[in-house]
Structure 1
Amino acid sequence: MPTLIGSVQRALRLLEAVGSHSEGAPAKQLAREAGLPLPTAYHLLRTLTHEGYLRRESGVFLLGDAAGRLADAGLQQKRRSMILDSLAHFRDAVGAPVYFAVYREGEIEVVGVCDTPASPACEEWADFRETGHAHAVGQCLLGQLDARARRDHYDRHPVAGITPYTVRDLGALEARIGSMERMQPVVERQEYALGTVCAAIPITAGDTAATMAISLPLCQEDRLLSVVDRLRREVGALLSSLSFSISI
């Protein structure tokens, strides 16, 4: 085990050395900068090149595609952690589960959900992507799309009743979306899950349609509008201090 850990440490030092040279560096220089014997450096450089973390061009080593993917994954994880931290703040501020979702590449994507054991989020018992017409998150996102994009969505995910309260047909759904007021939250009651009410607010950052939403058990329905209004104020206060374009 110590040998394995030592090899990983040496490989990481080499990667760091390569990353410090935008135009690449030869093996001898990298070995010197990483503090490694030249034969050890050669062995690790060949292995890292074979695995795609490095590439060799004109006698110098540069970072490879695999290293780039690793960096991208790390950045995505950092962004996700920041989103979840923000959702936790909103959850605590409003006292309800909080959801963040976007419409990306023609699909509804729930980016993050934050709840507590005492106030759990709504269980995704039917795929959120396929049932956007039935929940507040989806209706809010669909309402931000143009008519052509919505038609494309309906062609792939037809409107269908999943509870006795779900909007029953495309015409009724479009009429509802057409009547939505820009400054008002989107509310649905038991359309996606029996015993659950939800409300969502639209958020537009750049060209991306996004939404934040809350859910409550039916027995707390009288709190729904006040809770989502509190969420709107919290989100507005946070984003107004940042360089985002926001529409709530």
Structure 2
Amino acid sequence: MEREDDLDDGRTRIQSASRAIRILLAVAATQDGLKAKEIADAFGLSLPTAYHLLNTLTNEGVLFKDERRRYLIGPRAAVIAEAVNNSNTVPDGYVKALHALAERTGETAYLSVWRRNEIVVLATVEGSQAVRVTGLTAGYSDNIHARASGKLLLAFAPAPVRKTLIEGLVLRRLTHATITSRAALRRELERIRAEGISFDHQEFQDGVECVSAPIRSGDKVVACFTVSTPAGRFGRRQQMIVETLLSAVAAAAG
């Protein structure tokens, strides 16, 4: 009789379950879904086998098939996303890269993520020359229009989410440089999407500049790192900070 330890030794692998999970992840990594033939070809499956797995995932609600016969993420997959978003656990790769970012720049480094419809600071690490931004600690989620991280994650959010959030934002003026116009915010988000980087030029707190870059999983932005620094030294250190930041998000993405 097999012991429980033997059954849970990490080597047991059910091929159909493995294939189904890989298909689910492949569909999740696309914006426009995949057709059954594309999935079959990608995973070396016969078309009937691909349809069998796709029908199972569709029946469970984690995928759905649209009128173009393309498979997309279904509504029940949101349960998984919600569980991830509700978790305070930071992946080891993120932790290591965040600490390295703070150490190499000497500045405070932040990790921010989506949680429900909020952009939340999940972790902070102070460097040797760090400046503290008032109120910007783990758990903070307000004033996304004034934060480099808020603007970055909003810029890369799906268009319907971005539109709804922009229309509902209270564009509170925090400093002389805070964006307080929806038109100006939309222009800034377009620039961020084009350039792949976000700046806070004393928009959240006077005397403090921040820069954020995205952490990607496939073609989706799932989180971001931010570095904050006193405005007085940002100009001469900007290139180094940006290059170190980009290296850190690449390392975090693996």
Gaps of 5+ in 2: 8-82
Shift, 1:86, TM fit: 3.1
CA–CA distance in 2 between the matches of 1:189 and 1:209?
A: 24
Tell me the number of residue pairs that the alignment of Structure 1 and Structure 2 aligns: 172
Q: What residue number does 2:133 align with?
A: 122
Q: In the aligned structure 2, how far is the partner of 1:90 from the partner of 1:131?
A: 24
Structure 1 letter corresponding to 2:224: T
Q: Which moved more, 1:103-112 or 1:189-198?
A: 103-112
Does 2:238 align with 1:224?
Answer: yes
What secondary structure is seen at the aligned counterpart in 1 of 2:145? helix
Whether the 8 Å contact between 2:175 and 2:204 is mirrored in structure 1 is: yes
Identity of aligned residues (%): 20
Which residue in 2 is equivalent to 1:202? 214
- Measured on the aligned residues, the alpha-carbon RMSD in Å equals 3.1
* Bigger Rg over Cα: 1
**What CA distance in whole angstroms lies between the structure 2 residues aligned with 1:111 and 1:128?**
8
**1:58 matched residue in structure 2:** none
**Correspondence list, 1:176-195, <5 A:** 176-195=188-207
Deviation at 1:125, TM superposition (A): 6.0
For residue 180 of structure 1, report the CA deviation from its aligned partner: 2.6
From the superposition, tell whether residues 231 and 188 of structure 1 become closer, same or farther in structure 2 (CA, over 3 Å). Answer: same
In structure 1, the residue matched to 2:249 is: 235
* Equivalent residue, structure 2, for 1:146: 158
Shift in Å, 1:114: 0.4
The question of whether the paired residues in 1 share the 8 Å contact of 2:97 and 2:252 is answered with no
Aligned partner of 2:99 among 84, 88, 93? 88
Contact 2:109–2:125 (CA under 8 A) maintained in structure 1: yes
Gap runs ≥5 in structure 1: 1-18, 23-71, 243-248
Aligned residue type for 2:97:
S
Structure 1 runs (4+) deviating above 6 angstroms are none
* TM-score, normalization by structure 1: 0.59
1:130/1:157 contact within 8 Å kept: no
Deviations 1:21-55 (A, max 9, x none): 98xxxxxxxxxxxxxxxxxxxxxxxxxxxxxxxxx
CA contact (8 A) 1:84 1:113 kept: no
Q: Name the CA distance, whole Å, in 2 between partners of 1:182 and 1:232.
A: 16
TM-score scaled by structure 2? 0.58
Alpha-carbon distance in 2 for matches of 1:77, 1:104: 10
- Could you report, residue by residue, the CA deviation over 1:94-119 in whole angstroms, capped at 9, with x for unpaired residues? 22111111123211111111004641
Larger RCO: 1 or 2 (CA < 8 Å, sep 6+): 2
